[in-house]
Amino acid sequence: MTSTRPETEPSPETQDQTRTETRGEAAAPDETYDVVVIGAGAVGENVADRAGRSGLDVAIVEAELAGGECSYWACMPSKALLRPGAVVEAAAAVAGVSVSTEIDAPAVLAHRDDVASHWDDAGQASWIESAGMTLVQGRATIVAPRTVEVRGSAVSAIDGDPSDDGAVRTLVARHAVVVATGSVPRLPDIEGLAAAMPWGSREATSAQQVPESLVVVGGGVVATEMATAYRDLGADVTVLSRSGLLGAMEPFVGESVAAALRESGVDVVRGASPTRVTRSDDGRVTVEYDGPQGAASLEAAEIVVATGRVARTGDVGLESVGALPDDGAGLDVDPTGLVRGVDGDWLYATGDVLGTVATTHQGKYQARVCGDAIAARFAREDPREGVATWGGDVPAAGSEPRPWTRYAATADASAQTQVVFTRPQAASVGLTETQARDAGIDVRAVEYGLGDVAGGTLMGAGFSGTAKIVVDESRRVIVGATFVGPEAGEMLHAATIAVVGEVPLERLWHAVPAYPTVSEVWLRLLETYGL
Ligand SMILES: Cc1cc2nc3c(=O)[nH]c(=O)nc-3n(C[C@H](O)[C@H](O)[C@H](O)COP(=O)(O)OP(=O)(O)OC[C@H]3O[C@@H](n4cnc5c(N)ncnc54)[C@H](O)[C@@H]3O)c2cc1C
Ligand SMILES: NC(=O)c1ccc[n+]([C@@H]2O[C@H](COP(=O)([O-])OP(=O)(O)OC[C@H]3O[C@@H](n4cnc5c(N)ncnc54)[C@H](O)[C@@H]3O)[C@@H](O)[C@H]2O)c1
């Protein structure tokens, strides 16, 4: 089994701790822990791990598979589907290399199965326990302050749902309950759509066969990644997008990705809103839509709906403690992850359930902040000499921590990162030029072509891309950067360091990019800026 362990490595500090309780073992009617985490996705695992490292006794409840969406139905399997196309394209561009451009779809799907651990969470479950935490299998509901009821226990593999076998356990948290229940896909209100049994991101990332044709509704990250992957795997793909692609990023990103999708044979229809969906007896799907040329329709073997996600707050019992947000919004938390407005300061939340970030890495960052804050507030003693003391005192509940300290997820507001694994890849950190201007920052932006640096010309025929930095003129620091191009994601971290470190341009000038790498674009950007 290929491990998805990059999500959460066992810490050396906790590896040797063991717990006697095992999955499914009968338990006392009421079990008391210091901390109960609901949801063992990447985020829940990390908040539990950080809190548990301080010696706190942590239980983590999971209704489906330990590891959550990212490991089995999102980041990992989707990237396994996308990697072969990227490799073929890169190799085919290099003179003297002869490669078959054919992708062996069954082999790719089989490798994807390995990457998704065949939808078996045994590896993650055993890591949780080896890290000294207790994994409780079942669906959790908050029934009273600090009290969580867990129903069901047996879990089936691929669809992951726990069967309600009547088992009920009540977990009581001495100090904190953390909600890390993630998000669910948003199904737009389109006539016939639900009845047509469309694919969501789960079906798209775990499909055992490639449909001969696919219509993708949406123009965001899932839509563009899945359109790329399924085109690579041989499907005829049409993308129906209401507006431009990847609209949350700089405009040149969507334009580049749309052009590349079209070049690869994907029909990208901008300004298209589906109005009616039907699935006929032979299984084919017809999508009627208002398009740029008026009413139109198309037929395909399958339909993927990728129109965003909503925080999973509805079925966690939040109403029982007065914490259910209105209208499906995410949970509102302070910078340490403490849910605002709940008496007794015991309810925390992190990750997709906040509705403010929707990536694994940003959620895990919040989880580290939240887990450390819980440890600092409640651990009797931290067994790790020195480790626990960096970052100063944890702020009192309700008071604002200083930005960029251990107990503030400051980068969520000013330095979120994202890599979209389309071809070309798109990578961004911080603010777009428009977002910076809207925030009242006096900005100047400069762009440079990735194909115009020596390193770029060596990458292969037709290598191209764009880099853009957005500079806060008053402070002469970079507040946003975007790259689009082959493997652009690997260029992002230098920009992230510049943004988070608020490195003045005059100092950045001394960060000399090695020759001949594509990173030399940094020098060209600064020269273009005027240094
Ligand atoms: C197709 C796709 C591709 C993606 N690719 C990337 C990528 O490449 N990089 C990236 O950074 N992000 C990516 N994301 C986003 C990423 O998957 C999410 O941001 C991440 O999974 C959020 O983690 P989480 O722990 O908050 O939620 P989840 O991973 O959803 O975990 C929540 C867990 O809580 C459990 N749960 C829910 N309710 C209960 C309950 N009542 N009781 C017990 N357990 C419960 C669920 O079963 C689940 O396991 C992708 C998303 C999609 C859809
Ligand atoms: N590589 C990554 O980091 C990665 C990959 C996939 C997903 N994700 C995360 O998962 C989240 C969900 O992805 P997503 O692509 O579903 O959401 P998204 O917010 O990125 O895009 C949603 C798209 O659906 C369109 N849309 C919304 N309602 C519509 C309707 N009624 N009809 C037609 N179009 C409609 C929007 O205009 C937008 O283009 C993202 O926020 C992203 O952060 C991350």
Task: For residues 132 and 9, give the distance between their C-alpha atoms in angstroms, rounded to a whole number.
Answer: 13
233 contacts 143 by C-beta, under 8 angstroms: no
Q: Which of 46, 65, 69 to mutate to test the pocket of ligand 1 (most atoms within 8 A of CB)?
A: 69
Q: Are 424 and 260 in contact (CB under 8 A)?
A: yes
Task: Indicate the Cα dihedral angle 307, 308, 311, 314, nearest 10°.
Answer: 0
Distances (CA, A) of 409 to 46, 313, 340: 14, 21, 16
**How does the average pLDDT of the chain come out, rounded?**
91
How wide is the angle at C-alpha 396 spanned by C-alphas 393 and 397, nearest 5°? 135
* Residue 393 per-residue DSSP state: P
The confidence band for 121, taking pLDDT boundaries of 50, 70 and 90, is very high
Residues with CB under 6 A from ligand 2: 188, 217-223, 225, 241-243, 247, 273, 306-309, 358-359, 418-421
> pLDDT (tens digit, 9 = 90+) per residue, 28-84?
457 999 999 999 999 999 999 999 999 999 999 999 999 999 999 999 999 999 999
Ligand having the closest approach to the CA of 287: 2
Over residues 473-491, the mean pLDDT reads 97
Task: State the pairing for strand pair 417-420/425-430.
Answer: antiparallel
Ligand 2 centre to CA of 43 (Å) is 20
Other beta carbons within 10 Å of 438: 10
Strand ranges for 224-301 from DSSP E: 236-241, 267-270, 273-279, 285-291, 294-300
Measured in Å, residue 233 CA sits from the centre of ligand 1 at 25
The predicted model scores a pTM of 0.93
Backbone angles phi and psi of 258, in degrees to 5: -65, -45
C-alpha span between 472 and 512 (Å, rounded)? 22
- For the CA of 183, the nearest ligand: 1
What's the pLDDT tens digit per position in 152-191? 875 544 455 556 677 899 999 999 999 999 999 999 999 9
Rg (CA), the chain: 24
For 352-386, write each residue's pLDDT tens digit: 999 998 999 999 999 999 999 999 999 876 656 55
Q: Quick check: 188 and 289 in contact, CB under 8 A?
A: no
Entry field: residues in the chain: 531
Query: Which tokens sit at 382?
Result: 């931290």
Q: Is residue 293 classed exposed, middle or buried when 0-12, 13-18 and 19+ CB atoms within 10 A define those classes?
A: exposed
Distance CA 467, CA 455 (A): 14
Closest ligand to Cα 75? 1
Q: How far apart are CA 147 and CA 270, in angstroms?
A: 49
Residues within a 6 A CB radius of ligand 1: 38-44, 61-64, 68-70, 74-75, 78-79, 139-140, 180-182, 201, 205, 222, 312, 315-316, 351-352, 358-361, 363
Judge if ipTM > 0.85: yes
